[in-house]
Amino acid sequence: MSDNRVPLDGNIFHSIADPIYVLDGTGEILDVNEAATERYGYSREEFRGMDVADVSSGEPPYTRSNAIGRIEEALKGTPQVFEWQGADSDGNACWEEMSLCRAPVDGEPRVVATLSSIEERKRTERTLEEERERHSSLVEQSPDGIVIVQDRELKFVNPALADLTGRPESALHGLPFDEIIAPEDRELVRERYEKRIRGENPPEQYEIEVLTADDERRYVDLTVSSITYRGEPATLATFTDITERKRIEQDLRNREAKFRILAENLDTVVWMYDPEADQIVYVNSAYKDVWGQPRESLYDHPRAYVDNIHPEDRDSVREALSTQETGEYSEEYRVVRPDGAVRWISDYAVPVHSDDGEVFQIVGIAEDITDRKRHEQELQRQNQRLEKFMSVVSHDLRNPLTVAKGRLALIEDEQTEVIDQNLERMEAIIDDILTLARQGQSIDGIEPIQLREVAKQCWSHVATSEATLIVESSATLHADPERLRQLLENLFRNGIEHTGDGVTIRLGPLPDGFYVADDGPGIPEADQERVFEYGFTTNERGTGFGLNIVEEIAHAHGWTVDMTDSAEGGVRFEFAGAK
């Protein structure tokens, strides 16, 4: 093999842009060109006599022994081309592609080493390697299953796919890819795989079911793309487990179905509104019954129902609607049906918030309260008539009675006592009628009241004479103070008037209320069912309204009152629901 001839002097040797070393067989540097001095930071004189190890990094495999082996092969006539990591005068690594060839220099066989910088290539390789490592880490740590399919087989799988299918990674490698797919989805997946390999563009994302090693089914969102793997066409597929999402969706569908079954059988209008889309998303069939219009009209025009609101109520409803998204909405208004009928509506709605606090829906109910309004109006008319009646009784009857009593005082006759007693009885009847009328009115002021204390106060207001009161209850009741006093005074007075001065009256507790009992002779069985009737009395001087007033007061509080025999043989009145 002929030697290459390299001139050590002259412009050619020093004008070459790449560094050149002239080496002997021991690795000693005999000479260098100017490019070598610039690259490595040594002068030509410093280079001469240095060993090849002095300009190498020394990191395996870039060691002296490796370098000597390459030099020896070059001296035998076998050119060497390889990568080498050198080191400059400051110890910085220099990546080179080194070419070694034998050449006679000054008549002696030498090795000429030509160095080409590969720093840029190494930086690119390092960047690519870092990217590969980063991608590999992402793939390995991904919560989604990732596979590479080539020739219908799984060529790569990540740990997440092994977890998803319940199979070890080693068992998945080389497995036909469709074996992890549910039978009913296999044909679809195979067809799309073949199309993709042929260069067609089937859908990249779709839902399928996969089978685990235990034949359990898992829903996945499959995303597929075409890649080149080891020089051949392949597909990259990502399996996102959506089983829990599917379960939640099915649960929501079941709940929605139940809700619709319930809502469609209600007389009350149920509606849902999307404020962002300005769209009614649901309204039940009761809308037609109440508004007299098909519900489909609301889907096309969400505010169509406002057009049917009575003109006198429309502005106030529109103003209230503007605040729906900020809080609860509650309005009563009238609607005019197509047939001209007017219905009263109670409309109530609340905003529904997403996890980030935004209002995404408003849900409401609209109830037809026409019957209630008519009842309220009738009650109002009855109350007005009652107020007029009370005025007549209080003034038109009481005033002449007062005049008669005044005139009677001027007459001296043995019949005046009888007349006076009857006038007093008439006055008592008027008082009881007024009291009875007031008990039918609603209760406004409820307060916690100590039963023992109010009983003692009432006892002091009744002509008790030789009668005795025993209070065995320390309960607290929630009641109207004035009406509770009226109830107790009537009971105490009734017990004394029908039993006598020596009667003992007991007030004691019940599990859900209290009782008032006496030790008198009781009430005959034939009269017991009539004791709460208007005007019924067994006392010739009584008005017959006292116990009826007691019953009206109890009912106004929501209590029940029953009469039974007391343990002592007298009468016992039991009040349940009084708490």
Q: What is the pLDDT of residue 556?
A: 84
The band of 75, judged by pLDDT with boundaries at 50, 70 and 90, is very high
Task: Return the closest-CA partner of residue 147 out of 128, 169, 132.
Answer: 169
Are 196 and 228 in contact by the 8 Å Cβ rule? The answer is: no
- Cross-sheet strand order for the sheet of 342-353: 279-283, 269-274, 359-368, 342-353, 329-336
Task: Return the closest-CA partner of residue 24 out of 115, 114, 105.
Answer: 105
Least confident of 352-361, 403-412, 488-497: 403-412
d(CA 115, CA 84): 9
Question: Between residues 403 and 149, which one has the greater pLDDT?
Answer: 149
- Cross-sheet strand order for the sheet of 29-32: 29-32, 20-23, 108-117, 93-105, 80-87
Tell me the per-residue pLDDT of 168-181, one tens digit each, with 9 for 90 and over: 999 999 999 999 99
Question: Between residues 360 and 537, which one has the greater pLDDT?
Answer: 360
The band of 539, judged by pLDDT with boundaries at 50, 70 and 90, is low
Joined tokens for residue 541: 């001087």
DSSP code of residue 338: T
pLDDT at 88 over 90: yes
Are 269 and 287 in contact by the 8 Å Cβ rule? The answer is: yes
Do 11-123 and 374-438 have matching folds? no
Least confident of 203-212, 409-418, 520-529: 409-418
DSSP string, 402-415: HHHHHHHTT---TT
Tell me the per-residue pLDDT of 219-264, one tens digit each, with 9 for 90 and over: 999 999 999 988 899 999 999 999 999 999 899 889 888 888 888 8
Q: What is the pLDDT of residue 456?
A: 93
Contacts 24+ apart (CB under 8 A), 254-261: 260/284
61 upstream amide cis, omega within 30 of 0: yes
pLDDT at 425 over 60: no
Q: What is the pLDDT of residue 2?
A: 45
DSSP string, 5-67: P--SSSHHHHH-SS-EEEE-TTSBEEEE-HHHHHHH---HHHHTT-BGGGGB---TTSSHHHH
The band of 521, judged by pLDDT with boundaries at 50, 70 and 90, is confident
Q: What is the pLDDT of residue 441?
A: 54
Range 142-245 has CATH code 3.30.450.20: yes
Least confident of 325-334, 348-357, 376-385, 457-466: 376-385
DSSP string, 237-284: EEEEE-HHHHHHHHHHHHHHHHHHHHHHT-SSEEEEEETTTTEEEEE-
d(CA 296, CA 273): 14
User: What is 11-123's CATH number?
Assistant: 3.30.450.20
Tell me the per-residue pLDDT of 101-111, one tens digit each, with 9 for 90 and over: 999 988 899 99
pLDDT at 438 over 90: no
Q: What is the pLDDT of residue 399?
A: 59
DSSP string, 348-385: EEEEEE-TTS-EEEEEEEEEE-HHHHHHHHHHHHHHHH
Output the average pLDDT for the chain: 85
Q: What residues does each domain of the chain span?
A: 11-123, 142-245, 267-368, 374-438, 443-576
Range 374-438 has CATH code 1.10.287.130: yes
Range 443-576 has CATH code 3.30.565.10: yes
DSSP string, 308-332: TB-HHHHHHHHHHHTTGGGS-EEEE
Task: Return the closest-CA partner of residue 271 out of 335, 368, 365.
Answer: 365
b/e per residue 438-467 (b: at least 16 CB within 10 A):
bbeeeeeeeeebebeebbeebbeebebeeb
Range 267-368 has CATH code 3.40.640.10: no
Q: What is the pLDDT of residue 5?
A: 45
Q: Residue 523: exposed, middle, or buried by beta-carbon count in 10 A (0-12, 13-18, 19+)?
A: middle
Q: Is beta strand 504-510 parallel, antiparallel or unpaired with respect to 468-471? A: parallel
Average pLDDT over every residue of 479-504: 85
Our separate counts of H helices and E strands in the chain read 19, 22
Joined tokens for residue 315: 């502005």
Out of 81-95, 290-304, 366-380, 481-495, give the one with best mean pLDDT: 81-95
pLDDT at 47 over 80: yes
The band of 1, judged by pLDDT with boundaries at 50, 70 and 90, is very low
Q: Residue 132: exposed, middle, or buried by beta-carbon count in 10 A (0-12, 13-18, 19+)?
A: exposed
